[in-house]
Amino acid sequence: MKGGNMGNMMKQMQKMQKKMMAAQEELHEMSFESSAGGGMVTVVANGKKEITDVQIKEDVVDPDDVEMLQDLILTATNDVIKQIDDKTNDTMGEFTKGMNMPGMF
């Protein structure tokens, strides 16, 4: 009887692993966007945390205030990465609910 339970548990684990891999693949294909400065700078990234696009409005390009442009880019980039992390934690957390697995993701 123990062998049957173990086999069933292994099948359930394999099913969960396939679902986790599918969810992770779906996350990787998602697109995330953040803007700063009222839309003056927009950063787009995929779920792999790869920046796929940066848009900068001409009005914000001021040679006398490069620091402001740098700050806007940093703000938008950090926010888009946080969005990806939050979505990843929400999605993958569904699989670890009730399990004590620190550091898994």
Q: In what order do the strands lie in the sheet with 41-46?
A: 31-36, 41-46, 51-56
CATH 3.40.50.720 assigned to domain 2-96? The reply is no
Question: Which pLDDT does position 25 carry in this prediction?
Answer: 94
Residue 97 has pLDDT above 60, yes or no: yes
Q: Which of 90, 87, 73, 88 is nearest to 34 (CA)?
A: 73
What pTM was computed for the model?
0.77
Sorted by where each begins, the domain ranges of the chain are 2-96
Residue 100 has pLDDT above 70, yes or no: no
Mean pLDDT of 88-97: 84
How much of the chain, in percent, has pLDDT values that exceed 70? Answer: 89
> Per residue in 31-62, pLDDT tens?
999 999 999 999 999 999 999 999 999 999 99
Question: Which pLDDT does position 104 carry in this prediction?
Answer: 53
Question: Which pLDDT does position 2 carry in this prediction?
Answer: 57
Tokens of 38: 């009222």
* 98 neighbors 79 (Cβ within 8 angstroms): no
Question: Which pLDDT does position 101 carry in this prediction?
Answer: 52
